[in-house]
Amino acid sequence: MKIVQVALQRPHTFIVLALLILLLGVFTILRIPIDIFPNINIPVIAAIWSYTGLSPDDMAKRIILLTEKSAQTDISNVEHTESQSLNGIGVAKYFFQPNVNEDLSYAQITGMSQTLLKSVPPGTTPPSILAYNASTVPVIQLALSSSTLSESQIFDLGANVVRTTLATVPGAAIPFPYGGKLRQIQVDLDPKALRADGLSGTDVTSAIAAQNLILPAGTQKVGSLEYYVRLNASPTQVAQLNDLPVATRNGSVIYVRDVAHVRDGSPPQTNIVRQEGQRAALMSILKTGTSSTLDVINGIKQKLPQMQALLPPGLKIQVLGDQSIFVRSALSGVVREGAMAAVLTGLMVLLFLGSWRSTAIIFISIPLSILASIVCLSALGQTINIMTLGGLALAVGILVDNATVTIENINSHLEQGKAVEPAILDGAQQIALPMLVSTLAICIVFVPMFMLTGIAGYLFVPFAEAVVFAMLASYLLSLTLVPTLAKYWLKPHEAQATGHGVLARFQAGFDRLRKRYHTLLEAALRSGARFAGVFLLAMASSAILAFPFGRFLPGLGQDFFPSVDSGQILLHVRARTGLRIEQTAALCDAIEATIRQSIPASELSSVVDNIGVPYSGINLAYSTSGPIGPSDADIYLTLGPNHHPTATYVSLLRH
């Protein structure tokens, strides 16, 4: 091929190209998002309906069912719908086809929801529309607790200080807090006083509503100045609501304080969060879209000192469920294994070729091929994750083939007494076409992965892309950079160098092994039928081990992902339907006691209970555990460092 001749005529061009790949690859690695899995771009839009006091049955029949029926005709590209109806809250989730126009879908759902307001029960507020995708998952949690602040104050600080501060972190989605108590100004009526004055609760409600107003009045110009006029009848303190007049009886004014008591309280609690047995609030931070898990978590942690300065001294913030630890551990494991594979590959090449110059040329081409693949992955919008890194780690052993074949063939021509440049030109051109066929044959193996759809496609297409890009880069480098470096580093008769060192002894031993293999191969060819029988028996044995045959041979099993030890355990508790939240909390106490008996205190880092249903429908839209009422609870266990295998404790707790 002419490209080899060009590489020999203009070596500096390809050396600069290699340096460009190096710099661009390093720059890409520093900027490319890092995550545990590839981005799963399955758009989801949730419509969150609320009607205080409406039963789950009425919510499902009178509101949610209408939205699901309308979605079948008014919204396009819907893959499937899911809904959940609870007391006063209904969530309808619309899962769309991949790569759909999300803005159009959002507009369609908004328009449909506004149209349905005429058909749903009067007083229903317009729904909140929330757009996200399947990659929007929790990456870190913050537990807010205090021994001096009330649950209402903790929830208020979480919703109005913590949430608003952390919402500025790029790529972070912050739902409302779990647990705590909602702040609500409550008016406790005195039935006896109302009857004595001939009043009703409606009279008190109307009086407060009529006088708790802010009326716009514009401005007033007086002389050379202009003043803003305020007709503000809204009380500035809770206690001032007691002084609002309700009615007049026999010339006497009846105030709110005469027939009721206004206080700063909270509605009945439907969500309890406890951290190590202490009442708390839980903030769950999710990463959105293509955002990097590590970037989001680092941004959250950088905001914590700034946010802590805005909070009362008695409020404690503890970081829980930090997924960056697991992500870093998983990615570092893949990188470590890939690097080990590259080093071992280089050592094997050195042993077999017996030349450090040839080994150095081959060893340089491996990282450059990987960096070129990463640049291509970044250009296609992919991330650094265990799938792409797994593909690159798999490709390490294959990448060496092209460069090794090229160097070995060049050495063969050097052994024939040729000069360096003619040997490089003849050797590289001689194997260019066979090497292309070999490279394409390997790439074709991964072509079916590009046909996958759904979640499998989002996961395995980046894997295939990483391998294919690395292979193609390796082929191009073997015909350009490898001949260029060989021109400067290889010497005439390089392959004929002999000696009595370790490499020479290895070559002698390998020659003996080659002769034994040749003898075995001749024997197999002479007894073809017997060899075929042994081969078929080995295949049958593998099939027996791989597939289940009865209770004594369970087989390898099947799963979408291999099990990993993240040091975290989630227990979902579902008690009898209708159980009060206080009783569910008592049940969690008993479960927590069993947990502490099963897991040593030295290995149990934290225990967090999330009991009941969150206050906000936004939390329900993001939730994957599916709580249905106060009888449900989630118990989060975090194991400390140097713990025993998590699977051991999971099995123990199940039994």
List pLDDT tens digits, range 77-113.
Answer: 898 899 999 888 999 999 998 878 888 999 999 999 9
**Are residues 247 and 102 part of one domain?**
no
| Distance, CA of 585 to chain centre | 30
Distance in angstroms (rounded) separating the CA atoms of residues 263 and 260: 10
Q: What are phi and psi of 260, to 5 degrees?
A: -160, 175
CATH for 410? 1.20.1640.10
Range of the domain at 238: 184-217+229-265
**Are residues 485 and 621 part of one domain?**
no
Residue 555: the pLDDT is: 58
CATH for 188? 3.30.2090.10
Which of the listed residues 133, 153, 172 is the one where a domain comes to its end?
Answer: 133
Is residue 59 within 8 Å of residue 91, measured between CB atoms?
no
Residue 526: the pLDDT is: 85
Distance in angstroms (rounded) separating the CA atoms of residues 626 and 644: 30
Is residue 637 within 8 Å of residue 604, measured between CB atoms?
yes
Residue 497: the pLDDT is: 47
Which of the listed residues 109, 133, 157 is the one where a domain comes to its end?
Answer: 133
Q: Which of 243-247, 455-459, 497-501 has the lowest mean pLDDT?
A: 497-501
| Distance, CA of 2 to chain centre | 47
Q: Give yes or no for residue 25 having a pLDDT over 90.
A: yes
**Are residues 342 and 195 part of one domain?**
no
Q: Which residues pair with 172 in a beta bridge?
A: 287
**Averaged over 44-71, what is the pLDDT?**
91
Which of the listed residues 497, 526, 541 is the one where a domain comes to its end?
Answer: 497
Residue 152 domain flag: no
**Are residues 242 and 362 part of one domain?**
no
Going from the C-alpha of 487 to that of each of 111, 358, 407, the distances in angstroms are 69, 11, 11
Tally of domains within the chain: 4
Task: Show the CA angle centred on residue 633, arms to residues 274 and 636, nearest 5°.
Answer: 60
**Are residues 458 and 333 part of one domain?**
yes
Q: What is the pLDDT of residues 568-607, one digit of tens each?
A: 888 999 999 889 999 999 999 999 999 999 999 889 988 9
Element (H, E) at 106: helix 102-116
Q: What is the pLDDT of residues 505-541, one digit of tens each?
A: 777 887 888 889 888 888 888 888 888 888 888 888 8
**Are residues 68 and 18 part of one domain?**
no
Residue 499: the pLDDT is: 52
**Are residues 59 and 15 part of one domain?**
no
Q: Which of 319-328, 468-477, 493-502 has the lowest mean pLDDT?
A: 493-502
Q: Which of 141-150, 237-246, 285-294, 550-559 has the lowest mean pLDDT?
A: 550-559
Distance in angstroms (rounded) separating the CA atoms of residues 555 and 617: 44
**Are residues 481 and 335 part of one domain?**
yes
**Are residues 472 and 359 part of one domain?**
yes
CATH for 626? 3.30.70
C-beta neighbour count of 294 within 10 angstroms: 20
In DSSP notation, 174-240 reads: --PPEES---EEEEEE-HHHHHHHT--HHHHHHHHHHHS-EEEEEEEEETTEEEEEEEE---SSGGG
Q: Give the amino acid at 41.
A: N
SS3 content of the chain, % helix, strand, coil (to 5): 55, 20, 25
**pTM of the entire predicted model:** 0.80
Q: Which residues of 342-365 are buried (b: 16+ CB within 10 A; e: fewer)?
A: beebbeebbebbbbebbbebbbbb
